[in-house]
Chain A
């Protein structure tokens, strides 16, 4: 069977769209909780953006199961393969967990979950201040963990692009079709 070298076009579009949204989300989140005068407009973006990311990650998980990632290069050390697989599981888990914990904590605090104008989501948890406090802490911890995982992912992507040059980076980053290009390590 011919080995696929590239993520599908749909996978690449999903990846880069979500990359922009999630990085924006992390910066908005960490900025808004430190802000007074910009808090309200940032929070008003943070909530609908989080729900959008939740919808997109659900689509992305289905897509990932239908269109698995290309295999990593054969010559890659075992520990790097392990880290690559684990970090992707962590990224998917956090992309689901952060919006769900956010939605849950707003529910437990009895804050309205406003998407836009009169459009609101229902609460998913009962009104409970102690539960809110726990989820609020979890939201911060998970967000910092997501930022750390993103930094690791970003570093690894650049290592593949500039040092290893093993075809892993263009499998997601190239807009051109890579059919006919052989991997250096093969």
Chain B
């Protein structure tokens, strides 16, 4: 330990009179500044125009406002639970435990696309089903699916541009076509995708809709073989198109209320159908459908027998990140996957810390006391 000794001369910076020492001091400054500069560059602090996960969520908030505690997209929703009964047909495609024959508990969420948590249900709203498969002692699988045949954009950058172009005009309350037109001209893949989406009528409710993964993934089986896949939750109910007069002024929640009434009476069922892509099928472009004649494998049935309002600890507090995947399912090269994972994470982090408002969707037994 030091005795109260005198400071040695080399520690006195004022004694740095020789040029050599000053040069060395400058080198230290340069080395430290370059490390700190690299850090700031990687963090994006020098690149105000780089599209980051924060900026894409900022765009949602700029266009739709901030709705405290709610998801920045698919804000209006309801929690569901049930189970998946695997028939074992998926085991040759993927080694994921969820495809072994047997029953796996599932929780999930039905929602409408859009950032307004109190919006009225309507015939044009895209519906979504998000699920979390929770096998005992094995990896969880989360997936978010929509009832449209293809996704409207190919990349996160295009998504952001479309979002900003669709900002409602304050005068009319509707998106300005003059802004949408140049976007569609620059993105013919979106123009084609929108045609496909519009060509398919929406069903009359959540129960008789089929929900599609849209993005491609890869299944890896026990032999190590990897194949491109997309999947769908295909309704067991007969399809019925949404009637023109179905939306009522009295019930802003007519789609959700019908769903709640159905599930409280009888469990609803879907089949998980895996579509196996061919090598030529694009896996990096969710705007392009795969040919109809691809092999479809029904790997099991999903039964939803419970529904409840969003509340602490249930589906409200789960981020349905599409890249929470079990061993045996891997991401494809679809650029949307990582971008969705990143943006969902940002949305989740923001809303987790915000004051929560009750959901517009109320089930009879739950969520009333808040």
**A interface, CB within 8 angstroms of B:** 26-27, 30-41, 43, 71-78, 80-81, 109-112, 114, 117-118, 120, 127-130, 132-134, 136-137, 147, 151, 154-155, 158-159, 162-166, 184-185
CA distance A109 to B49 in the complex (A): 30
Give B87-142 interface residues, CB cut-off 8 Å to A.
Answer: 138-140
CA distance A163 to B24 in the complex (A): 7
Interface size of B in residues (CB-CB distance below 8 Å): 60
Produce 1/0 per residue, B301-327, CB < 8 A to A.
000000000001100111101011011
Q: Does B43 interact with chain A (Cβ within 8 Å)?
A: yes
Q: Quick one: given A75-B10, A76-B7, A112-B140, are A118 and B327 in contact (CB under 8 Å)?
A: yes
CB <8 Å contact, A74 and B338: no
CB <8 Å contact, A185 and B10: yes
* From A39, A80, A118, A132, residue with most partner B Cβ within 10 Å: A39
Other 19 A-B pairs with CB < 8 A, given A36-B156, A118-B327:
A31-B42, A34-B42, A34-B52, A37-B338, A39-B53, A39-B345, A40-B323, A41-B338, A73-B8, A75-B7, A80-B11, A109-B319, A112-B324, A127-B313, A129-B351, A136-B353, A147-B39, A184-B10, A185-B10
Q: Does B50 interact with chain A (Cβ within 8 Å)?
A: yes
CB <8 Å contact, B353 and A137: yes
CB <8 Å contact, A27 and B42: yes
CA distance A76 to B316 in the complex (A): 57
CA distance A109 to B54 in the complex (A): 19
Q: Does B280 interact with chain A (Cβ within 8 Å)?
A: no
Report A48 CB to chain B, min CB distance, Å.
14
CB <8 Å contact, B53 and A133: no
CB <8 Å contact, B32 and A155: yes
Q: Does B268 interact with chain A (Cβ within 8 Å)?
A: no
B residues within 8 A CB of A185? 8, 10
Across the interface, A162 reaches (CB within 8 A) one of B1, B3, B24, B324, namely: B24
Q: Does B27 interact with chain A (Cβ within 8 Å)?
A: yes
Report A12 CB to chain B, min CB distance, Å.
21
Across the interface, B10 reaches (CB within 8 A) one of A117, A147, A151, A166, namely: A166
Chain B interface mostly = helix
CA distance A55 to B345 in the complex (A): 27
7 contacts across the A-B interface (CB closer than 8 A)? A30-B39, A34-B42, A39-B345, A80-B11, A81-B2, A112-B140, A129-B316
A residues within 8 A CB of B8? 73-76, 166, 184-185
B residues within 8 A CB of A81? 2
Q: Does B337 interact with chain A (Cβ within 8 Å)?
A: yes
Report B351 CB to chain A, min CB distance, Å.
8
| Nearest opposing residue in chain A for B29, CB measure | A155
Q: Does B278 interact with chain A (Cβ within 8 Å)?
A: no
| Nearest opposing residue in chain A for B36, CB measure | A151
Q: Quick one: given A35-B52, A75-B6, A158-B28, are A136 and B349 in contact (CB under 8 Å)?
A: yes
Q: Does B225 interact with chain A (Cβ within 8 Å)?
A: no
7 cross-chain pairs, A with B, having the tightest CB-CB distances, nearest first: A75-B8, A133-B353, A39-B342, A34-B44, A118-B327, A40-B338, A133-B352
Report B106 CB to chain A, min CB distance, Å.
15
